Amino acid sequence: MLTALLIWLPFMASAQEDQIDATSVTKITLLTPGISRELKIGKKQTLHTAVLMNVIVQSVISSTFSETNVYTDPAITAGYRYYYNFEKRANRGKRYEKNSGNYVSAFSALVFTKARMDSDQYEETNRRAIGIFGTCWGFQRNYRGHFSLDLNLGLQYQFGKATFFHPVTGQLTREVTGTIEPGANLTLGIWLN
C-alpha cells in the first residue's frame, strides 16, 4: 500500500499544478485607449472592469440626408465573465493561460457622449451619461508575446437623456429614453502580468 502511494504521489502533485483556472489579468487597450483588469472570482469566472476612451462610429441615413460621425468618449465598464472551454482548449494543445478562451458575459457600462441613441434623435450639445446593460458571447486570446485580442457580440439596453421631436406635442423635447441594440466590441491590447 505504501508503495502504491509513493508511485501515485508525483502524479497527484502534478495534477494539482496543472489546474485549468481563470487568472487575474491587467491589460493596456489600444483601439479604445485605456486600462482593463480581469479579476479571478472563481474557477472559471472573472470580474472584468475597464476605464477607457470609447470609440463610437455612427451613421444616420434618412430620405433627406445621411451623416457619419465618430465620437471618442470617456467610459467605464464592469462585467461578469464565465469561461466555458478551457479544458477543451487544453486537450487540443491550445493556449488557455491568461483566460484565453470563449466566454458568456453580463455587463454594464457608463459612457459620457454627445452621440444619438437612435436615428430620430438629435446630437446632444453637451456630453451626458448613457447607461448600458447587456449580455454577450465572446472570445479572448492572450498570446505569449503579450498581444491580446478580445471580441464579443450580444444585445444591450441603452438608456439616457435624448433630444427629439415629441410625436404627440410636436415640440422639441429632452427626456430619458431607452433602446435595445445589438452590440459588438473589439479590443486589441497588451497584457501586463
Helix, strand or coil for residue 5? helix
> Is the Cβ–Cβ distance between 142 and 98 less than 8 Å?
yes
Q: How far is it, in rounded angstroms, from Cα 34 to Cα 185?
A: 14
pLDDT in tens, the chain (193 residues): 544 444 444 444 434 345 789 999 999 999 999 999 999 999 999 999 999 999 888 777 767 778 888 889 999 999 999 999 999 999 999 999 999 999 999 999 999 998 877 766 777 778 889 999 999 999 999 999 999 999 999 999 999 988 877 778 888 888 888 999 999 999 999 999 8
Q: How far is it, in rounded angstroms, from Cα 57 to Cα 76?
A: 18
Q: Which residues pair with 36 in a beta bridge?
A: 27, 50
Burial class (CB in 10 A: 0-12, 13-18, 19+), 80: middle
Tell me the pTM. 0.81
Q: Cell triple for residue 101?
A: 478562451
**Domain extents in the chain:** 42-191
